[in-house]
Amino acid sequence: MPKYHKIDRAVKGMLCCPLCKSSMTAAEDQFACAACGTVFPKRKGVFDFRISHPEYCRPNGMAKWSQIQNEFEEGEKRKKRKRRKKILTFLDAIDSARKMYAEEFDIRGSVLDVGGFQGRSRGYFSSSDVPLYVSVDPFLESFEGIDSQPELLQAYPCLAQPCNFLACYAEALPFRSKTFDWVNMLSVHDHFCDPYQAMIEAYRVLKDNGHVLIGLAVTGGESNMEAGRKEQPVYVSPIVQKVLRLLKNLGMIKAAKYELKVYSAKPLDDGHMCRWQYEDLLDLCKRTNFAVTKEHWLKPPYGACVYIVGEKQPLDS
């Protein structure tokens, strides 16, 4: 079976403890930090630098995060089984993303893709511009089942090459300070448990004057997404509505449940930790010492997505 992920020697040399940032000792199947006494084993063939709190002392917010992350991972596994061909309907979108990266952003050097999943973004860079690319994501099984999805490999040919990958949280990166030229954060701020901490970590691992590229669906700014918008309720004709009401009055539970679905719309932030406002994203960049040097809005139907480049600013001494 082809190998879809790896961890190069050069990447191993960049690692440090995700908790206390000390050097770790490496073995075939684990990394260990003597300074804080934490061990990070290999699980399912992937080095796992996630902080695994015992259930009874999980930080606040982690329970909601786990539930949403679990939904995301289960969704991806279902896609793998059921909706394989759907990916081919996105070929144009993938192509325009590639063009946008080439035309709008000058990404060169080493790239850390935080929440990078299978490292699909590496298809947007040439290996001469980006000689080192690492994807990190808490989804340990990101690469499982690629073999059974030829359509996915067709849409993202870069997946056929093994990707530098390890499991960790954006909020606790296992990389030494000032290591990367770019941090890529695509559709992840609405998934993070603590986006503020994640941006502080992005700042830390970037070299001086390094850059963060954020891509995110937001409200506000030039976005076409309304704040507080709900999902469309299911539309049914007035006659069907009448019949439903009649059946419900006759005590048919199934009809009552369907009627509930028709009239209740779920908030749009389902499956996300939160929805972001453009102004808050700018403020987050400023507070974490990034100067925004570029902003690019996508056209409809992706008109809610903004891309922001932030340059790491040194602290005034």
Ligand X SMILES: C[S@@+](CC[C@H](N)C(=O)[O-])C[C@H]1O[C@@H](n2cnc3c(N)ncnc32)[C@H](O)[C@@H]1O
Q: Which positions lie near ligand X, rule CB under 6 A?
A: 69, 72, 114-117, 120, 137-139, 169-171, 186-188, 191-193
Vertex 298, ends 295 and 302: CA angle to 5°? 140
Return the sign of the alpha-carbon dihedral for residues 170, 173, 178, 180.
Answer: negative
In the bound state, the residue with its beta carbon closest to ligand X is 115
Phi, psi of 49 (to 5 degrees): -105, 20
Q: Strand 206-219 relative to strand 180-186: parallel, antiparallel, unpaired?
A: parallel
Q: Kindly state the smallest distance separating residue 210's Cβ from Zn ion, in Å.
A: 24
> Residue 174 in contact with residue 146, Cβ under 8 Å?
no
Q: How far is the CB of 160 from ligand X (least distance, A)?
A: 17
User: CA 236, CA 216: separation in Å to the nearest integer?
Assistant: 33
Which one of ligand X, Zn ion, none is in contact with 19 (Cβ closer than 5 to 8 A by kind)? Zn ion
Of 206 and 244, nearer to ligand X (C-beta) is 206
Q: Report what 195 binds from Zn ion, ligand X, none; CB cut-off 5-8 Å by kind.
A: none
Which contacts qualify for 30-34: CB closer than 8 Å, 24 or more apart?
A: 31/174
Q: What angle do CA 55, 142, 120 make, to 5 degrees?
A: 135
Cβ-based nearer residue to Zn ion, 57 or 239: 57
**Binding footprint of Zn ion on the chain (CB under 5 A):** 17, 19-20, 22, 33, 35-36
CA-CA distance, 54 to 123, in Å (whole number)?
A: 38
CB of 176 to ligand X, least distance (A): 18
Question: At 266, phi and psi to the nearest 5?
Answer: -80, 145
| Least Cβ distance, residue 187 to ligand X (angstroms) | 4
Closer to ligand X by Cβ: residue 65 or 259: 65
Minimum CB distance to ligand X smaller for 69 or for 224: 69
CA-CA distance, 187 to 110, in Å (whole number)? 20
CB of 42 to Zn ion, least distance (A): 18
Q: Taking CB within 5 to 8 Å according to partner kind, which of ligand X, Zn ion, none is near residue 17?
A: Zn ion
Residue 125's binding partner among Zn ion, ligand X, none (Cβ under 5 to 8 angstroms by kind) is: none
Measured from the CB atom, is 200 or 252 closer to Zn ion?
200
Among Zn ion, ligand X, none, partner that 72 touches (CB below 5 to 8 angstroms by kind): ligand X
133 near 120, Cβ under 8 Å? Answer: no
In angstroms, the CA 37 to CA 308 distance is 38
**Shorter beta-carbon distance to ligand X: residue 33 or 183:** 183
